[in-house]
Amino acid sequence: MRKLGILLFVVLLLSACGPAQTAVPTSPPEAPTNAPVVAEPTVEPTQAPTVEPTKKVYPTWTPRPTSTPFPTNEPLPFEETSLAELARARGIDIGAAVSVDPMLRDSQYSELLAREFSLMVAENALKPGPLQPQQGVFDFSGGDALVAFAEENGMRMRGHTLLWHQQSPAWMEKGNFSREEAIQVLEEHIATVTTHYKGKVYAWDVVNEVIDQGGNGLRDSFWLQSIGPDYIEIAFRAARAADPDALLFFNEYGAEGMGGKSETQYALLKDLLDKGVPIDGVGLQAHLQYQGGPNQMDFERNMQRLADLGLIIHITELDIRLPSPATQKVLDEQAEFYHMVVTACVNQPACKAVILWGVSDNYSWIPGQYRGMGEGLLFDLLYKPKPAYHAVYEALKQ
Ligand code: G3I
């Protein structure tokens, strides 16, 4: 009887503990064997953001559930407060690259620009090609129209760009100048342009994309060939001499996160600053791609080390391209990416501007450059606000 009692007790105990658990070993998932080749050096591989224990964790923006998509035939509502007002309240700017033609001819474009943005940058009009089509002959008409619009609407005007290996006039690029002649051409261009816009353009991209595609050194441009590596400091010194009040920027793409080109950029900037070259800021272009990099941690680390050099940071050419036409899910993911980028800027005291590379998707450079891609901005082909607009709104407001 006693034995039966013990047996009953054991059976009851076992059944109370439930079925035996089999320990499943946890191992990291296998790396995919068919990982795509990253063809474009500007895009860093996507990494899951690891949050350091001491790191500040930002509130994340939750996209509208995809099960309740925005009706496609109705615009997303604009918020009452503009992005410009929110940005100004934070002591930063939200900007857009502007083309002269739509600004003058398309009232929807110009109204949206004036309402939502606190800063504008010339998408093309202030590049050397349009500005000095023949040696010594300057055409300021496009730039002047942009500046007038900015002044009329209380917006800041940013200049892009005093030097570039693209969109330079043929006479400048193929002139076979000696070093001395090339220095003179460069100095004259910079002095004439910055003097013309003195007091009107508050910040200039002085040099644009001077690091080579692979990120290993200076680009083998006609400026490097005719002058040598010191063309960069010559350009900055010429700009400072002509307009001592303008902020002078070094602008680059594909150097937003850590590693690769970003290391070259950091080392170059440090070296130039150590030599006393008058550089006030660094422009991180941020032509990003849906499901691409940088991840939040790398982006913040890179901005911090640039800030530690004493540099102002502008996100100068932000867009996040997508396979187009995009689904609601993809638009929501794009919005999340926007939220990360703008939040990172808002939380970095040295970051003073976020500039979109265009006002709306219909005038964006992306479809012309990347087949099947587009929809990289905050407003769609019909100027309707996209989820990305609301994400930027929330990021500026938080
Ligand atoms: O102005 C001419 C016009 O007269 C001509 O009829 C027409 C015919 O194609 O071309 C017009 O010029 C075009 C210009 O944009 C103005 O619309 C050029 O062909 C075209 O190549 C040029 O593209 C610009 C591109 O820079 C030049 O490489 C894009 O609009 C502009 O968004 C893009 O911006 C660059 C930044 O400056 C630097 N970072 C990358 C960014 C995107 O490529």
| Mean predicted lDDT score pLDDT of the chain | 86
Ligand 1 neighbour 364 (Cβ under 6 A):
no
Instruction: Tell me the per-residue pLDDT of 86-119, one tens digit each, with 9 for 90 and over.
Output: 999 999 999 999 999 999 999 999 999 999 999 9
Section 295-321 average pLDDT: 98
Q: Where are the domains of the chain?
A: 86-397
The share of the chain scoring above pLDDT 90, in percent, equals 80
3-state secondary structure 10-62: HHHHHHHHCCCCCCCCCCCCCCCCCCCCCCCCCCCCCCCCCCCCCCCCCCCCC
Span 20-63, pLDDT tens digits: 333 332 333 333 333 332 233 333 333 333 333 344 444 455 55
Long-range contacts formed by 42-45: CB under 8 A, 24+ apart: 42/253, 42/254, 42/287, 43/254, 43/288, 43/289, 43/292, 43/293, 44/254, 44/256, 44/257, 44/259, 44/260, 44/292, 44/293, 44/294, 44/298, 45/292, 45/293
Q: Let me know if domain 86-397 sits in CATH 3.20.20.80.
A: yes
The pLDDT tens digits of the residues spanning 204-239 come to 999 999 999 999 999 999 999 999 999 999 999 999
**Could you tell me the pLDDT band of residue 162, with boundaries at 50, 70 and 90?**
very high
Whether 253 contacts 287, CB under 8 Å: yes
Q: How far is the CA of 223 from the centre of ligand 1 (A)?
A: 20
Residue 192 has pLDDT above 70, yes or no: yes
CA of 140 to the centre of ligand 1 (A): 17
Ligand 1 in contact with 42 (CB < 6 A)?
no
Q: Which residue of the set 44, 116, 123, 209 is catalytic?
A: 209
Whether omega before 278 lies within 30 degrees of 0, making that bond cis, reads no
- The yes-or-no answer on residue 209 being catalytic is yes
Looking at residue 60, its pLDDT comes to 58
Our mutation pick for probing the ligand 1 site, out of 120, 123, 252, 369, counting the most ligand atoms within 8 A of Cβ, is 123
- Is residue 160 over pLDDT 70? yes
Q: Is the CB of 380 under 6 A from ligand 1?
A: no
pLDDT of residue 46: 34
pLDDT (0 to 100) of residue 61: 53
Q: How far apart are CA 393 and CA 398, in angstroms?
A: 9
Residue 14 has pLDDT above 50, yes or no: no
Does 85 qualify as catalytic in the annotation? no
Per residue in 56-82, pLDDT (tens digit) is 444 455 554 443 444 445 556 799 999
Residue pLDDT, tens place only, 245-292? 999 999 999 999 999 999 999 999 999 999 999 999 999 999 999 999
Paired tokens of 298: 């790398």
| Rg (alpha carbons) of the chain, rounded to whole number | 26
Angle at alpha carbon of residue 116, lines to 115 and 120, rounded to 5°: 95
Q: Which atom of ligand 1 is nearest to the CA of 357?
A: 32
pTM: 0.84
Nearest alpha-carbon partner for 116 in 142, 152, 141, 153: 153
Q: Which atom of ligand 1 is nearest to the CA of 127?
A: 37
Which atom number of ligand 1 is nearest to the Cα of residue 358?
Answer: 32
pLDDT of the residue at 398? 86
Take atom 1 of ligand 1 and give the residue whose Cα is closest: 130
**Residue bearing the CA closest to ligand 1, atom 23:** 365
Q: What is the mean pLDDT of residues 333-347?
A: 98
